[in-house]
Amino acid sequence: MKNIGFIFPGQGAQYIGMGKSLYENYGVARRVFDKAESVLGFGLKDICFNGPEEEITKTDICQPAILTCSAAAMEVLKETRGFIPSLCGGLSLGEYSALVCSGALAFDEAVALVYKRGRFMREACEETDGTMASLIGCDEGKAAEFAEQASCEGVVTVANLNCPGQVVISGEKKAVYKALELAKSAGIRKAVELKVAGAYHSPLMKSAKNRLTEELERVEIKKPLIRCASNVLGNFYSEKDDIKYFLSEQITSPVLWQDCAEAIIREGCNLFFEPGCGKVLTGLLKRIDASKRCLTIEKKEDIENLTGSV
């Protein structure tokens, strides 16, 4: 069988109806959702399947929701089609799904942990006046230059390196707005503020990082059975004992997603699956390496269409 990479979406991929098709058609998906609800103690299924929008977009709801959808899709893919990943990774929150996939983190512990992570991040956003912005047609060096020039207005930093020509900056609103002005003046193709609750992956998330660090001490991390990429390293974890440290660092550090994807590609993966919800990483992978094939798995028809297509 080909070398296969499983890549998992992060916050922002959520939508009303996600996971419903898999839940209604596969017992293994139902077991994943039911397990999540028993751990969390609230009706996650109803929020995923029916909304409302203002509920599913809450940071502390969408994080466990996306992880649950990803785990359900992953289990359906493995059980019905026998696809076992050679390597895995995920974008920000998606790294937790990847760690579940790798065997390093039990699903029940992961879903409880990301629920708390989401709450910590939401509360950090409420305590600060932050935002994020996307710079399209901009490289890391130029984005860092804009951030440095805008730092006279406050904290602003590079937050995501998603694919060639796509950089996200994050920080205090006045500083981010200044960086946007600089980017537009420099002729950057597209420079826009993102619709987010705050300055994720920036120093403004320090309180969330500190609280998550405490929670991580209570979680059992096992040796990964499948190699998993770290957003902070932009490469694979080499030691089990590094995982808690880098999950904590991830809260305030840039997400090196392009580096993660390229690390997986270097190991010989030509076929990728994006289990869960949306096609964000599939789109990014096309810009990172258009020769690689990526299939999204979020509905019954996605599973059925695999017959003879892989």
Residue in 92, 102, 170, 230 annotated catalytic: 92
- Sheet containing strand 130-136, strands side by side: 156-163, 166-172, 130-136, 190-193
Query: In the block, which residue shows the tokens 């320090």?
Result: 206
Residue in 21, 70, 134, 201 annotated catalytic: 201
The pLDDT of residue 309 is 54
Gap between the Cα atoms of 135 and 192, Å rounded: 7
**230 assigned to active site:** no
In angstroms, how far is CA 140 from the centroid of its own chain? 20
pLDDT digits (tens, 9 = 90+) for 28-61: 999 999 999 999 999 999 999 999 999 999 999 9
DSSP type of residue 252: T
Beta carbons of 19 and 286 less than 8 angstroms apart: no
- Sequence letter at residue 141: G
**What residues does each domain of the chain span?**
4-125+204-304, 129-198
CATH superfamily of 129-198: Malonyl-CoA ACP transacylase, ACP-binding (3.30.70.250)
**86 assigned to active site:** no
Gap between the Cα atoms of 110 and 96, Å rounded: 7
The Cα-based distances of 107 to 70, 123, 131, 278 in angstroms read: 11, 24, 31, 21
Encoded tokens for 231 = 């957003």
Gap between the Cα atoms of 282 and 271, Å rounded: 11
pLDDT digits (tens, 9 = 90+) for 190-248: 999 999 999 999 999 999 999 999 999 999 999 999 999 999 999 999 999 999 999 99
Q: Is the dihedral of CA 196, 200, 206, 212 positive or negative?
A: positive
4-125+204-304 matches 129-198 in fold: no
CATH architecture of 4-125+204-304: 3-Layer(aba) Sandwich (3.40)
Per-residue pLDDT of the chain (310 residues; tens, 9 = 90+): 568 999 999 999 999 999 999 999 999 999 999 999 999 999 999 999 999 999 999 999 999 999 999 999 999 999 999 999 999 999 999 999 999 999 999 999 999 999 999 999 999 999 999 999 999 999 999 999 999 999 999 999 999 999 999 999 999 999 999 999 999 999 999 999 999 999 999 999 999 999 999 999 999 999 999 999 999 999 999 999 999 999 999 999 999 999 999 999 999 999 999 999 999 999 999 999 999 999 999 999 999 999 755 6
